[in-house]
Amino acid sequence: MDSYDVIIIGAGMSGLSAGLRLTYYGKRVRIFERHRLPGGMNSYYLRSGVAMDTGLHALTNFVPAGQRGAPLNTLLRQLRIRREELDLCPQSFSLIDFPFGTLRLNNDFAAFAAQVGKLFPAQTAGFNALVARIRATDALSPGALRLSARQVVGEYIDSTQLQDMLFCPVMYYGNAQVDDMDFNQFCIIFQSVILEGFARPRHGMRPFLQVLLDRFAAQGGELSLGVGVRAISRRADGRQVVTTDDGASYTASALLSSAGGVETARLCAEAPPPELSAMSPGQQGFTETLCQLNCHPRELGLDACVIFRNTTTSFRFRPPAAGVDPDSHVVCMPGNYVGCEDTDCARLVRLTHLAAPGWWHALSPADYRRAKDELMAQHVAMMDAWKPGFKAALQSCDMFTPKTISRYTGRINGAIYGSSDKLTSGQTSQDGLYLCGTDQGFLGIVGAMLSGVAIVNRYLLA
């Protein structure tokens, strides 16, 4: 039975970052990943030889190199990666688009705040006070009180229109809760999306992941792709035991899971830690429609990098009764990031909608294929009505659903943001078992990577 210092479940952003951090301190580490490609929720697949990202709209938390205490720069120091290795391209601009107005995001918070003041002059003082509250909140503290974000934001801003415009990008980019969210989570995503900003790896996640993989391998780390974990247990001497799908067993002093809280509890051969058993499965799903065009999206008037679009006067964030919610969506144009105009995905448009996980999982294979075809046609028609010429420019269309996410990641309900319950400390009541990633509460690419690093620093390097 092979023995390690630490075994990690999942080669997503948090698992890879945790593994790399551990190898710098001489730890013997092995990562098991059920999928044959790394990256987890931010992986890729090949279509006609081109790597298509499965989750990347933007790398959030983007700031200049000189902001030493910012999450991105802290992460790069912890992982000993030079910024230029990731080949990050900043956004030109993105939009929060509602029928009553539009706010522009361009990695300049002062400019964004000025727009808020212009569109909602009566809310300026309240918005500034809310931002001060967000900046003063230690949202990453394991002991932070859980508060309703809707309630807290409402204490500062009485315009429901402005509330919705702020919640729309924040919820789409990191909320596991229906309709409301924890204020600490709101602060984390608000900082990453609005106070800081967006960038994109020039050629997507494949080379970005390769930087981590190459460094991990060079440091002696071991990665097993296409090898899922079937069960975890604990020996009498306290060592963790991992049994893989092929029946092989491995031991380690510590086990770090990025599979999700409920998912990790279901792997436990004995009674799981009660705090994991108490977590509820994620309920919010998404579909993503990938449209390859024969022209650059800018030629159709799609000149932003990301558009958070809501077509009704109010914004809702909950699973629809069936299929997808047509009233809001995120539209992403990878080729509009600065320096990405000639990349393989420059003519791609990605459409993200809120989806009903239970509805998608209950479909028969034939009905599932039919539903995908019908919804892709509806999404193309929607885009053509909004941006005439879209349908004529369409070359190919693909879609993934909550069912796709479940199949390739094991995430229950295909809920990419996991449970609405988070184990913010990352430490379970079972000695040697830790949680990182989405259900530890750090979200986004940078957030997930920081989660892995933070758990390692806090518990596994002592």
Q: What would the pLDDT profile of 325-343 be if each residue is shown by its tens digit?
A: 999 999 999 999 999 999 9
Query: Is 90 in contact with 338 (CB distance < 8 Å)?
Result: yes
| Whole-number percent of the chain with pLDDT over 90 | 90
Q: Where are the domains of the chain?
A: 2-56+204-280+421-460, 109-191, 283-409
Helix, strand, coil abundance in the chain, percent, nearest 5: 40, 25, 35
**pLDDT digit string, tens, across residues 1-41:** 689 999 999 999 999 999 999 999 999 999 999 999 999 88
| CA gap 295, 429 in Å, rounded | 55
pLDDT > 80? residue 299: yes
* CA contacts within 13 A on the Cβ side of 451: 32
Across 235-379, the runs of DSSP E, i.e. the strands, are: 240-244, 249-257, 285-293, 306-310, 328-332, 348-355
Q: Characterize the bridge pairing of strands 44-47 and 50-53.
A: antiparallel
pLDDT at position 456: 98
- Tokens at 49, concatenated: 């030889």
Q: What average pLDDT does range 392-401 have in this prediction? A: 96
Q: Which residues contact 192 (CB under 8 A, 6 or more apart)?
A: 60, 61, 71, 173, 174, 443, 444, 446, 447
**pLDDT digit string, tens, across residues 215-268:** 999 999 999 999 999 999 999 999 999 999 999 999 999 999 999 999 999 999
Determine the 3-state secondary structure of 322 from DSSP.
coil
Q: Which residues contact 336 (CB under 8 A, 6 or more apart)?
A: 91, 92, 297, 298, 302, 303, 304, 305
Amino acid at 295: C
| CA gap 119, 104 in Å, rounded | 11
Q: Which residues contact 407 (CB under 8 A, 6 or more apart)?
A: none
Residue 49 confidence class, pLDDT cut points 50, 70, 90: confident
Q: What average pLDDT does range 383-397 have in this prediction? A: 97
Residue where the block lists tokens 């885009």: 383
pLDDT > 90? residue 132: yes
- The whole-angstrom distance between residue 113's C-alpha and the CA centroid of its chain comes to 25
Q: Which segments of 301-457 does DSSP mark as H helices, in order?
A: 357-362, 365-386, 390-393, 402-409, 444-455
pLDDT at position 68: 83
| CA gap 189, 183 in Å, rounded | 10
Query: With respect to CATH, is domain 2-56+204-280+421-460 assigned 3.40.50.300?
Result: no
pLDDT at position 203: 94
| CA gap 189, 201 in Å, rounded | 20
**pLDDT digit string, tens, across residues 98-122:** 999 999 999 999 999 999 999 999 9
Q: What is the DSSP letter of 294?
A: S
**pLDDT digit string, tens, across residues 52-92:** 888 778 999 999 998 888 999 999 999 999 999 999 999 99
pLDDT > 90? residue 161: yes
Q: Which residues contact 246 (CB under 8 A, 6 or more apart)?
A: 227
pTM: 0.95
Mean pLDDT computed over every residue of the chain? 95
Query: Is 51 in contact with 24 (CB distance < 8 Å)?
Result: no
Strand partners, 293: 394
Residue 198 confidence class, pLDDT cut points 50, 70, 90: very high
pLDDT > 70? residue 408: yes
